[in-house]
Structures are given as structure tokens and as C-alpha cells.
Amino acid sequence: MCRAAVFQLDASYRAVGASPPPELGSARLAPREETRRDPWEELPFGAPAGAWRLLARLRPSGVRRSRMWRSPLRGPWLTSVFGAVLLVTLPLVTITGLLSYIAYGPQFGQAFPREVGWLRLPAFDWPTSPAWLYVLNQGTHVILGLVLIPVVLAKLWSVVPKLLEWPPARSPAKVLERLALLLLVGGVLFEIVTGVLNIQYDYVFGFSFYTAHYFGAWVFIAGFVVHVALKIPRMLAALRSRSPRSVLRTTRAETRPEPLDSTGLVAAEPAAPTMSRRGALGLVGAGSLLLGVLSIGQVVGGPARRAALLLPRGRSYGSGPNDFQVNRTAEAAGIDPADTEESWRLVLRSRNGTSRFFRGELLGMPQHTATLPIACVEGWATTQRWTGVRLRELAVLAGVPEPTWARVSSIETVGAFRAATLQSNQVLDPDALLALRVNDVDLALDHGYPARVIVPALPGVHNTKWVRDIEFGSD
Amino acid sequence: MRVLLRRFSRAYGAAPHQPLLVLGAFALTAYVVVLLVPDSSFTRMLVWFLAAVVLHDLVLFPVYAGADRLLRAGARRGRTAVGWVNHVRVPVLGSALLLLVFLPGIIRQGEFTYYAATGQTQQPFLGRWLLLTAAMFALSALWYLVRVMRSRHLGVGRDGN
């Protein structure tokens, strides 16, 4: 079998027009008989050994590792490179995701899902400075998540022989480990799929995105921690097995399979390479770069926005002062324009009572202008120049100069985000506004006319539009 | 004690910390399931979770691996002085990646929620994806042409990366 394998390899080299590497020449066939032994096949069986051995013998016909997996690139080194990249980056995606949950204000019951049992995150007052904090958080979460898709797919490609290996397990330990892998692979794919659909407003899955994405993350975390803890020694050893520099210097013709080992990743009968290892790494990197270039524009905005060709937030609305990204149109929110005209009053409430202001009165108060981003959980942002009354001055007007919270409600009666509670620091920040104007003109109806909240570093949907009343509390 | 542990490891198939970690992960997952069971769409979530794995392992992977096998078979038959396999692979993979990630916009799925959120339609995405695909193929073909010219010029031309 081994001899045949070598000849076959030799033949496939010629078939793709390459000369076989010298080490496969017939002169060295004899010692290779020894080295082509497959250490994976010789792994020991756990208890009960008889049962595992029997299972191994019951191999379905067709499930032959050597025949199914021929790529000469697969091996522990390549898998470990992808693994190392994901080891560093996936925690960043996870942590920014969890931070976003906290940014929504779980202490006010306005982070979704609301009921999380013991999976409650430590709540702290989300800062208002720097103003771009939420842009950075969500930009990292979404863009990095997108950029990692090719790496995740490549990692799965590199380990796919393990999926159909026979026997599927040789010990109780292996059974448990494989089940834990389901959490990891299922978790990461589920998070990618739900996330990718959500940023494109496609809710085909029919369940709450927030609930699924939050709990899916915990399942992923469970699988990830186990996998990292169990595989880190092997990853480090595999990474040390060859220098990146030598890989980057190796052309396709010089590319050799990694030594056959007990990981079961290396092809037992490798085909001739059609791509070098550096080529494969470059291909994955290019895929990531492609997704990065096509999505970063919706975070940084400006002229770069146009590069986000395939995402919702890469599109232009025009060049007027109100022509920037709309999050939920007035039409979708069921806003009756008549309710925003002369009859509109801003209602301020507190324990001291209620007061009402019409828009002209608000415009007559000291106006403050701040350049602030609206940053959405979906990883897009738009920075504009807002003008209006400081929230802290409204708090003084309501007789609560040191509020611990403020509840802002909208004219809107249907949406999940028709009201939001702000923390003390979010009311008192000098740039936290009840904006009446944007870029020196009145707000457009789609942007919240007659008045909207804009607070530095606050998740986009909590910048309530079409504000009807604000209640200040100090309890 | 040490002998006992070693015996356990041999029979079980891994060091004793392995089951602790794995069972910990299962416990956390079980807790998530307990929290989610009352949710009316729990079954849906479970189906999507499992479908994500099944669709990747048993549909997406076999499809792209099979396509690649066909491509390589074609390359063996239609052999040229300068290998062209990767000049097909790269733009196909690029285009497929974009299709996979941006499918909702390209096929105009979720039109209603998209319009409600943005006030716009998904009209341009299919065309843009096709143009991007065309651009990737064109660049790849151009690069191939350069390689062919160069190999003619230098009289060599075998490596394909």
C-alpha cells in the first residue's frame, strides 16, 4: 500500500506538470516504507478497549482517510496558524459583544435578552467619553467578526478529515471531546449566521436576534474555552515545527506535506500541491481583506462609506444636511407628521411636577452644538453636527439638577426602542443634547423631528427620536 | 495516587482535567438550554444551531470540495505551460465568499425590514456583486496573461503561486 501511495503521488506530480520532489525518488523508497506508517492509526484505545477495537473494525466501506483527504497542505502547523489567529481575535469579538450588552443598560432592564439568570454581566455605567467608544466597540465586533469568516472556514477546512475519521472515537475522552466540539463549531457558526443576517436586516430566522445571539455566545464560549485549554499545548508545538519565514519562502513546487503524525490531519496519501502553503495563507488573508474593505466604510463613514458596496450602510442618501444614515424611518415607526407640528410639546416630568415646552421655547434656550456619532449595534456609524438644548439644563428646568436617571419616551407607540433610560453620566455630559437641529438645519422627520436625544457613546437606538417626554429621577 | 491517576488517564483516554473542563462546558450549555426552553422559539434556535453545523459540514464543504475536484480534473486534462487552476479558484472563491456573506441583500431577502430600517431598497446589490465578480475574474485573467507573457519571455513557467 505504501509503495503504491508513493507511486501515485509521483504520478500526480507529473499530472499537474511538476516534477516530483527529489525525496520521493525511488532511491529512497525503502526507508519511506517505515516513515509512511500512520501514527494516527496506531493511537491507543481507552477502556473498554475491546469495544473500541470492534468499532474500529466496523469501518463503513468508503470511509478511508487516505483516499478521501489528499490535500498536501493540511497538517497541524496550518491548522495551528488559523487556530492562533482565532485564539487572539475571537475573544475580542466576544468581549466587544458582551460589552455592547452592558452598553444597553441592563441595570434599567433595557439590555436584551432581559432574563439571563446567572449569566448576568457585571453592570457598570457605560462611559460617555470618548464619544466614539461605541463606534469602536461595535465596529470591532462586526467588522472583525466579518473579517474572521474566511479564517473560520479555512480552519474548518483544515480539520475536516477529523469529521469523518474512523473510528470516530477510541476512548470515552474522545467521545466527550467531540461533543464539546459541537458546541464550538455550532456556536461559532450560529453566531456568524445570526450576526450576518442581523446586520443586513434579514430576520428570516424568526426568533429574537438578541436572545439567540446572546445565549449562542455563551454556548460558543463554553466550547471555545474547552477547545483552547485542551489544544493549546499541541498548537504551540505545531507552530514551533516550522518557521513562518521558511513557509513564506517555499514555492508551490517545493511544498511538501507535513510529517504524518498522530493528529490525523496530514494526508496519508497526499496529492501533488496545486498551491503553496503561503499561497493558501494568502488566499485566506485576501478573503479577509476583501470583507474588511467592503465593510469598514460603514463604520468610518466619509468618502470611505462608498467602499461598503454590499452592506446596507454603504449607501448614500444625498448631499443635503439631513442626508445621512436613517435608522428606522418615521413611516416605519408609525409617526403621524401632524403630531410633530405646532401641537407638539416637550413634556418634562419629575417628582416636582410636569412642565411643557413648545419647540420655539426650546429654540430660545441656550443652544449647544456637538459633533457626535450615532453608532448602531449593527456596526455602522455616522457622525454629524447636532445642535440643541443640553439634557442637564432640562434636568435643572425639571427641578432635578442631579438626576440618577432620565427616562426618554417617544411619540412612537409600537417599536421596541420607543423609550430609553439614560444613566446619570449620560444626562450630565456637557455634549448630551436634546437635539433640535443637525448641520445647521432643522432635523428631518426621519431623523427625529421635532427633537431627538443625542448622547456621546450611547448605542444608536437609545438616542430616542421624536421625543415626547423626559422624566428625571433621583432615587 | 499518581499510579491511580495514570491508570485513569489510560482507561479514560485523557488527563483528569479534561472531563472537568468538558463537563463544565456541558453544564453551561445545559443551563443556557434551561433558560431558553420557556422561549416560544427555542426549537427554532436549536434547529438553526444544528443546521449551521450540518449545512457547513455536509453541504457547503462537499460542494466546494467537489467543485475544486472537478476543477483540478479539468486542469489535468487541459494542461497549459502556465498553470491556470488558481486563476479560476481565486475569483470563484472571492465571488462565492461575497455571495455567502451578503446573500440577503443580493437576493433581496428581508425587503420589508430593510426598507423600514433604512428607507431604501436592496436594488443595487445584485448588480454590484456581479460587477465585483467580473472585476475579480478580469484581474485574475490579466494576471494570468502577464504570467504567460513572462514565461514566454523567460522560457520557464511552472510554478503556480
Question: Can you tell me the mean pLDDT for A322-346?
Answer: 96
Judgement on whether residues A261 and A361 belong to the same structural domain of the protein: no
CB of A149 within 8 Å of a chain B CB? The answer is: yes
Q: Is the pLDDT assigned to residue A13 strictly greater than 90?
A: no
Q: According to the model, what pLDDT value does residue B156 have?
A: 55
Instruction: Tell me how crowded residue A115 is: count the other CB atoms within 10 A of its CB.
Output: 13
Taking only the tens place, the pLDDT of each residue in B77-128 is 888 888 999 999 999 999 999 999 999 999 999 999 999 999 999 999 999 9
Q: According to the model, what pLDDT value does residue A23 have?
A: 43
Domain boundaries, chain B: 80-161
Q: According to the model, what pLDDT value does residue A182 have?
A: 97
Going by pLDDT thresholds of 50, 70 and 90, the confidence category of residue A38 is confident
Residue A319 resides in a domain? no
Going by pLDDT thresholds of 50, 70 and 90, the confidence category of residue A244 is very high
Partners of residue B48 in chain A, C-beta under 8 Å: 190, 193-194, 205, 207, 212
Judgement on whether residues A192 and A341 belong to the same structural domain of the protein: no
Domain residues for A141? 54-297
ipTM: 0.95
Partners of residue B94 in chain A, C-beta under 8 Å: 286-287, 290
Question: Can you tell me the mean pLDDT for B36-51?
Answer: 97
Judgement on whether residues A288 and A352 belong to the same structural domain of the protein: no
CATH number of the domain residue A438 falls in: 3.90.420.10
Judgement on whether residues A241 and A349 belong to the same structural domain of the protein: no
Question: Can you tell me the mean pLDDT for A52-70?
Answer: 86
Q: According to the model, what pLDDT value does residue A67 have?
A: 76
Going by pLDDT thresholds of 50, 70 and 90, the confidence category of residue A66 is confident
Instruction: Tell me how crowded residue A7 is: count the other CB atoms within 10 A of its CB.
Output: 13
Partners of residue A288 in chain B, C-beta under 8 Å: none
Q: Is the pLDDT assigned to residue B49 strictly greater than 90?
A: yes
How far is it, in rounded angstroms, from Cα A447 to Cα A43? 65
Instruction: Tell me how crowded residue B80 is: count the other CB atoms within 10 A of its CB.
Output: 12
Average pLDDT, chain A: 92
Q: How far is B90 from chain A (nearest CA, A)?
A: 7
Among A297, A322, A350, identify where a domain stops. Answer: A297
Residue A231 resides in a domain? yes
A246-275 in b/e burial notation, b at 16+ Cβ within 10 A? ebeebebbebebbebeebbbbbbbbbbbbb
C-alpha distance from residue A389 to each of A180, A365, A430 (Å): 54, 7, 10
Judgement on whether residues A287 and A370 belong to the same structural domain of the protein: no
Question: Among B17, B31, B41, B48, which would you mutate to test the A interface (most chain A Cβ atoms within 10 Å of its Cβ)?
Answer: B48
Q: Is the pLDDT assigned to residue A26 strictly greater than 50?
A: no
Judgement on whether residues A290 and A355 belong to the same structural domain of the protein: no
Judgement on whether residues A399 and A285 belong to the same structural domain of the protein: no
Residue A139 resides in a domain? yes
Taking only the tens place, the pLDDT of each residue in A365-402 is 999 999 999 999 999 999 999 999 999 999 999 999 99
Q: According to the model, what pLDDT value does residue A36 have?
A: 66
Judgement on whether residues A175 and A97 belong to the same structural domain of the protein: yes
How far is it, in rounded angstroms, from Cα B123 to Cα A42? 57
Q: How far is B73 from chain A (nearest CA, A)?
A: 10
Number of domains present in the structure of chain A: 2
Q: Poorest-confidence range of A82-91, A165-174, B130-139? A: A165-174
Q: Could you tell me the maximum CA-CA distance found in chain A, to the nearest angstrom?
A: 97
Q: Is the pLDDT assigned to residue A17 strictly greater than 70?
A: no
Residues of chain B with pLDDT > 90, as a percent, come to 88
Q: Residue A451's closest CA among A381, A365, A362?
A: A362
Residue A303 resides in a domain? no
Judgement on whether residues A109 and A168 belong to the same structural domain of the protein: yes
Q: Is the pLDDT assigned to residue A306 strictly greater than 90?
A: yes
Judgement on whether residues A293 and A431 belong to the same structural domain of the protein: no
Provide the β-strand partners of residue B109.
none
Q: According to the model, what pLDDT value does residue A277 have?
A: 97
DSSP class of A20: P
Q: Is the pLDDT assigned to residue A257 strictly greater than 50?
A: yes
Residues 55-114 of B with CB under 8 A from A: 56-57, 61, 72, 75-76, 79, 83, 85-86, 89-90, 93-94, 97-98, 100-102, 104-106, 109-110, 113-114
Q: How far is B20 from chain A (nearest CA, A)?
A: 10
Of A146, A173, A313, the CB nearest to B101: A146
Judgement on whether residues A255 and A373 belong to the same structural domain of the protein: no
Residue A268 resides in a domain? yes
Residues of chain A with pLDDT > 70, as a percent, come to 92
Partners of residue A149 in chain B, C-beta under 8 Å: 97, 100-101
Judgement on whether residues A275 and A350 belong to the same structural domain of the protein: no
Of A182, A204, A229, the CB nearest to B21: A229
Residue A386 resides in a domain? yes
Residue A327 resides in a domain? no
Q: For residues B128, B133, B135 and B137, what is the CA-based torsion angle, rounded to 10 degrees?
A: -170
Instruction: Tell me how crowded residue A154 is: count the other CB atoms within 10 A of its CB.
Output: 23
Cβ neighbors of A19 (< 8 A, separation 6 or more) are A13, A253
DSSP assignments along chain B, one per residue? -HHHHHHHHHHHSS-THHHHHHHHHHHHHHHHHHHHTTSTTHHHHHHHHHHHHHHIIIIIHHHHHHHHHHHHHHHHHT--SS--HHHHHHHHHHHHHHHHHSHHHHTTTTHHHHHHHHS--STHHHHHHHHHHHHHHHHHHHHHHHHHHHHHHHT------
Residue A106 resides in a domain? yes
Q: According to the model, what pLDDT value does residue A8 have?
A: 42
Taking only the tens place, the pLDDT of each residue in B23-40 is 999 999 999 999 999 999
Question: Can you tell me the mean pLDDT for B132-158?
Answer: 89
Of B29, B100, B114, the CB nearest to A201: B114
How far is it, in rounded angstroms, from Cα B21 to Cα A173? 11
Q: According to the model, what pLDDT value does residue B24 have?
A: 98
How distant is the alpha carbon of residue A9 from its chain centre?
41
